[in-house]
C-alpha cells in the first residue's frame, strides 16, 4: 500500500525510511520519481511498486508553510509571486 502525503510541507516523508514488500528499504531520495499533474509518485527502484504518493502543494499550503518559516516554501512562494507578477503585466 502506498502512503499518501497530503501536505507536501508538513511531514518528514522525504527522509522517512520506507520498506517495500520486496524487501527494499530506503528514503524518497533513493526511489524513482514519477511526476503527474496533481501528484508525484515515488516508486520502489527494485520492483516498481508505488510507495509514496505526494500531493503537490496548492498556493494556500505554500503560503501557510512559508509563513511558518519553511525555507522551501518561501522559495517556491517567491517564484510563484514572480510568475504572477509577470502574468499580471501581460
Ligand atoms: Zn519493491
Polymer length of the chain: 90
How far is ligand 1, taken at its centre, from the CA of residue 62, in Å? Answer: 31
How far is ligand 1, taken at its centre, from the CA of residue 6, in Å? Answer: 22
Q: Is 42 strand, coil or helix? A: strand
**DSSP conformational letter for 69:** T
**pLDDT computed for residue 44 by the predictor:** 98
**pLDDT computed for residue 12 by the predictor:** 86
Span 32-86, pLDDT tens digits? 999 999 999 999 999 999 999 999 999 999 999 999 999 999 999 999 999 989 8
How far is ligand 1, taken at its centre, from the CA of residue 81, in Å? Answer: 39
Q: Is residue 90 predicted with pLDDT exceeding 70?
A: no
Strand 25-26 to 3-5 pairing: unpaired
Span 9-30, pLDDT tens digits? 977 899 999 999 999 999 999 9
Q: Which helix (H) or strand (E) holds 52?
A: strand 50-55
CB-based contacts of 46, cutoff 8 Å, min separation 6: 20, 22, 23, 24
How far is ligand 1, taken at its centre, from the CA of residue 44, in Å? Answer: 5
**pLDDT computed for residue 42 by the predictor:** 97
**pLDDT computed for residue 89 by the predictor:** 63
Amino acid at each position: 500500500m502506498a502512503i499518501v502525503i497530503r501536505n507536501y510541507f508538513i511531514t518528514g516523508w522525504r527522509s522517512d525510511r520506507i520498506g517495500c514488500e520486496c524487501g527494499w528499504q530506503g528514503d524518497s531520495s533513493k526511489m524513482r520519481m514519477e511526476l503527474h499533474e496533481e501528484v508525484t509518485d515515488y516508486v520502489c527502484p527494485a520492483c516498481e511498486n508505488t510507495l509514496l504518493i505526494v500531493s503537490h502543494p496548492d498556493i494556500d499550503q505554500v503560503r501557510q508553510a512559508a509563513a511558518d518559516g519553511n525555507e522551501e516554501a518561501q522559495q517556491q512562494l517567491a517564484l510563484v509571486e514572480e510568475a504572477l507578477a509577470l502574468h499580471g503585466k501581460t
